[in-house]
Amino acid sequence: MQGDVIAKKEDKGWFYTDLVKEHFFHPKNFLEDESAYKDAFMGMVGSPACGDAMKVWIRIQDGRVIDFKWKTFGCASAIAATSILSVMVTENGGLPIEEALKLRPQDIMARLGGLPARKVHCSVLGDKALRSAVNDYYRKTGQNEKIEIEAGRIIDSVLKITDHDIEEAVLEGADTLEKVQQRTKVGTGDPACLPEVEQLIRFYKEKYFGA
């Protein structure tokens, strides 16, 4: 695992900050025994494209997230991003739920001092897992009207490819139409959607990379 967090001189794009390495080698709030958190609210998310899977457990008191435990099976970036997220959510007495839900991948990356472009999707895992856990809280406390469901909008009507599929491709490094098509095959079934695909690529590149 250590080779994943040490930058090679010839590949500056894989550089990890000292804080990323600290949270990888010494993760905070990692959950060893799931049975101890059966009473907590749980969220789970996975990314088949990179093999990462994540679970988080939260406890809420007086509208604040006072505890955040997690377990992830993934790369150094996924581990570090979840570790720092658990600190961000629970420090200073815990964030109000509404503030916790406002955290975005950019906030996690900024706190870590940055992640390699090809690993940005790892910070998205933590963001989505947290929202899933909060939804579990809303569901179990009868606040169903507050549950946020991520429903992708279909872009390619033939292949049923959604805007979320395009988003994930960009997060995984596909920064051109050709690269997105290689990953998703979007437009091969419905060529008329390609102008919208190009707009989405520009939007997600700006959103996550400022490019």
The residues assigned a catalytic role are 50, 122
Inter-residue long-range contacts of 1-5, CB under 8 Å, 24+ positions, other chains counted: 1/76, 4/75, 4/76, 5/76
Rounded Cα gap, residues 48 and 50, in angstroms: 6
The continuous run of DSSP H or E covering 61 comes out as strand 52-61
Q: Are 132 and 43 in contact (CB under 8 A)?
A: yes
**Per-residue tokens: 27:** 């993760």
Q: Are 190 and 158 in contact (CB under 8 A)?
A: yes
